[in-house]
Amino acid sequence: MIQIYTTPSCASCRKAKKWFDQYNIPYSEKNIFSIKLSKDDIYRMLANSENGFDDIISTRSKVFKEKKLDPDSMSVGELIDFIIENPSVLKRPIIINETELQVGYNNEDITIFLPKELRHNENILRATRLMDMEEDFEEEE
- In whole angstroms, what is the distance from residue 50 CA to residue 93 CA? 17
Question: Is 139 contained in some domain?
Answer: no
Tell me if 128 is assigned to some domain.
Answer: no
Strand bridging mode 94-96 / 101-103: antiparallel
Global pTM exceeds 0.85: no
Domain range enclosing 92: 2-114
- The one-letter amino acid at 116: K
Active-site pick, 4, 5, 6, 10: 10
pLDDT, tens digit, 9 for 90 and up, residues 11-46: 999 999 999 998 899 999 999 999 999 999 999 999
Task: Identify whether 122 is part of a domain.
Answer: no
- CB–CB of 64/91 below 8 Å? no
- Average confidence (pLDDT) over 37-59: 95
The pLDDT tens digits for 68-121 are 888 888 899 999 999 999 999 999 999 999 999 999 999 889 989 988 777 666
Asked if residue 82 is part of any domain, the answer here is yes
Is residue 80 one of the residues assigned to a domain? yes
Answer yes or no: is 136 within a domain.
no
Cα 108 to its chain centre, rounded Å, is: 12
pLDDT over threshold 70, residue 136: no
Q: Report which DSSP code applies to 35.
A: S
CATH number, domain at 69?
Answer: 3.40.30.10
**Rounded distance between C-alpha atoms, residue 112 and residue 59, angstroms:** 27
Domain count, the chain: 1
Task: Tell me, yes or no, whether 106 lies in a domain.
Answer: yes
Whether 13 is catalytic is no
Cα–Cα separations (whole angstroms), residue 132 to 103, 111, 123: 31, 21, 14
Name the 3-class secondary structure at 96.
strand
Whether 140 is in a domain gets the answer: no
